[in-house]
Chains A and B, each alone.
Chain A
Amino acid sequence: MPTISMNVNGISVSAEVENRTVLSTALRENLGMTGTHVGCDTSQCGACVVHVNGKAVKSCTMFAVEADGAEVATIEGQAHSDGSLNVIQQAFQDHHGLQCGFCTPGMIMTATALLRDNPKPTETEIRDHLEGNICRCTGYQGIVNAIMAASGQKPAIAAE
C-alpha cells in the first residue's frame, strides 16, 4: 500500500492508505482525526470540507494519494494553542451558528476560506459561498450572523 506524507495543521504525518482511500477516510480512520465529518459522502453536503494547500475542498471527493506532500488544515487546527476558540468559532457559539454541530466543521473551514479571500463579505456573498454546505438544523441565519460578526460586521437579523 502507498504511504503518503502530509503536513496536517502544522504537524508532519504519514499514513498507509489504499489508492482508493479518500482524504476524509485517511484523516478520520488512519490518523484518528474525527473532527472532519462525513455527512453524505457524495460531495453534496460540505461537512467534510478541509483546506488542501490553502484551498477549501470536499475531502470525501479527493483521493488521499492526491494529497501526498500537501499542507492540510482541518477543524482540529483552528482553535488557539491554549485551546480557546478562534474568532470564527467563537462567533458560531455566540450567534447560534450551530445546533447539533454536525455540519459545523465544514461550515467553519468554508467560512475561514471565505474570510481569507474576502474579509468583509456581504450577507449575499456569505450565502453564495455557503452554497455547498448543508445544515439540517439552524436554518442558516445563525451561521450567516456568525460569519458577519466574525468579520466585524453587524448581523442584519438577530437569530433569537
Chain B
Amino acid sequence: MYNFEFTKPKTIKDAAKALAADGAQALGGGQTLLPTMKQRLAMPETLVSLTEVDGMVGVDSRGTGLTIGGATTHAQVASDAADVYPALAGLAAGIGDPAVRNRGTIGGSLANNDPAACYPAAALASGATITTNKRDIHAVDYFQGMFETALAEDEIITAVQFPIPQAGNYQKFVQPASRFALVGVFVAKTADGVRVAVTGASGSGVYRWTAAETALNSDFSAKAIEGLSDDPSEMITDLHGTAAYRAHLVGVLTRRAVTASR
C-alpha cells in the first residue's frame, strides 16, 4: 500500500475542508477501503477519518423516524435500533462478521454502494434520506448503479434518516465466502404502499421489484406473489450462481420477508 497523509477532524466543517483537497478521501471503518488500498486499487494522498467527527455517531429515535449518524458502526445499529426498527437492526446484525460490524459504518456502506451490500436495500425500501454536508438526497435519486451514487467526490454522508414502516423485514441469502448477500430482499409496508428492494441480483445494483409491490399492495401475503418471479435478463451470472438462480432467490426471499415482516 502506498503511504498517505492522515487527519482526524473533529467537526463536519473541518472534515469537508480536508476532503476538498486534491487526492483526499474519506475513511469510515476502512473495511472496504483498506483492502482496496492494499491492492493499490485506491491510492489516496490524504485519508480523512470520520470516526471522531462530532455528531456523526449515534442512533436517534426521538423524531418520527430513525436518524443514524454516518459514522455509526453496524454493531451499534444492530443494538441501538433493535427496539424501534427491528428489520433494520436485524440487517445490520447480519453484515459480515462481528469484527467487521465493529468497524464498518453505514456511511461507508452507502457511499460504496457495492451491488451485494445490505444497507442499500434497507435505504431504498424504507424510503430513506441520505443527508450530506451539502444536501438531503432521497434514496430513489441516490443509487445510480453498481458502485455509483449521487455523491460528489468531496461529499460526506453525515446521517441517514429512515422513516419506520408499519412492517418490514430483510432476508439475506449469504454468499458464504464473502459473507455479502448472494441475494438480499428488504420488504417495507408503509402508509404509501409496499416497497420491495433487491440487492445482490442485478448488475446495476439495488432496485425495486415493482411487479411484487403491485401484488403485495392488494394483498400483503406470501400467497399474493406465489409463482411470481423477477426477470433474470439483467441479473448477474457468476461462479456463485446464474441469473436464473438469482431470479428464483428473489422470489423465495421476498415471500420469506413478507411472512417474517413485523
Give residues in A with beta carbon < 8 Å to B.
Answer: 2, 18-20, 22, 41-43, 46, 49, 55-58, 61-63, 65-66, 110, 113-114, 129, 131-133
Q: Judging by beta carbons under 8 Å apart, are A56 and B99 in contact?
A: yes
Size bracket of the B interface:
20 to 34
Residues of A near B103 (CB, < 8 A) are 57-58, 61-62
Given A62-B103, A110-B98, A132-B96, A22 contacting B3 (CB threshold 8 A): no
Give residues in B with beta carbon < 8 Å to A.
Answer: 1-6, 30-31, 34-35, 37-38, 47, 49, 51, 75, 96-100, 102-103, 179
Given A62-B34, A63-B34, A19 contacting B6 (CB threshold 8 A): yes
Q: Judging by beta carbons under 8 Å apart, are A42 and B102 in contact?
A: no
Smallest Cβ-Cβ distance to A2: which chain B residue? B6
Main secondary structure of the interface of B (DSSP, over half): mixed
B21 to nearest A CB, angstroms?
15
Inter-chain CA distance A131–B100, complex, in Å, is 10
Smallest Cβ-Cβ distance to B51: which chain A residue? A66
Select B30's contact among A41, A46, A62, A114, beta carbons within 8 Å.
Answer: A62
Residues of B near A65 (CB, < 8 A) are 6
Q: Judging by beta carbons under 8 Å apart, are B3 and A132 in contact?
A: no
Select B4's contact among A20, A41, A55, A132, beta carbons within 8 Å.
Answer: A20
Q: Judging by beta carbons under 8 Å apart, are A42 and B4 in contact?
A: no
Q: Judging by beta carbons under 8 Å apart, are B179 and A56 in contact?
A: no
Residues of B near A41 (CB, < 8 A) are 38
Residues of A near B75 (CB, < 8 A) are 55
Smallest Cβ-Cβ distance to B2: which chain A residue? A20
Q: Judging by beta carbons under 8 Å apart, are B35 and A61 in contact?
A: yes
